[in-house]
Structures are given as C-alpha cells and as structure tokens.
Amino acid sequence: MAKPDDRSDNVEKLQEMIQNTMENIRESRDYVKAHADELTPEERANIEQKNQRREESIEGFRSEIQDENARLQ
C-alpha cells in the first residue's frame, strides 16, 4: 500500500534547502576570493556557473513555498 502524501513539513524543508544553498554560494565565493590566484579561468567560470544554477534553484524553492502556502489556505 502506498504511503499517504504527507506534505505538512514541505515549507520547513524548502526553507532549510534555501538556507543550505545560500551557504554553499557564500562558501564558494569565499573560496574563489581566497584562492583566486590558484584557479584557472575555467575553474572560476565553473564555480560561477554552479552558483548561477544554485540561485535559480533558490528561486524555484521560493516558488514552491508560495505554492504550498496557497495550497494550505
């Protein structure tokens, strides 16, 4: 038998995911600053692209939070 769809803590989980993703962005920016002279342009570009994808993910998480809040009202 399938588990019931328990989405009661989705907003909390999404908020935690946003915080973790923002921390990853900060850490990678700090890494680039600390090791700028050691990174190749390609490595730096890869980190910047990954951060862009992370920021897009955050936007998606925020949209999901809005959807969850609308569902609960």
Alpha-carbon distance 23 to 67, whole Å?
24
Going from the C-alpha of 59 to that of each of 12, 52, 71, the distances in angstroms are 16, 11, 18
Residue 21: its pLDDT value, please? 98
| SS3 label, residue 1 | coil
- Read off the tokens for 12: 């909390």
Q: What is the pLDDT of residues 5-55, one digit of tens each?
A: 777 789 999 999 999 999 999 999 999 999 999 999 999 999 999 999 999
Alpha helices in 2-40 (DSSP H): 10-34
Residue 4: its pLDDT value, please? 72
What is the model's pTM? 0.85
Give the amino acid at 51: N
Annotated domain spans of the chain: 40-68
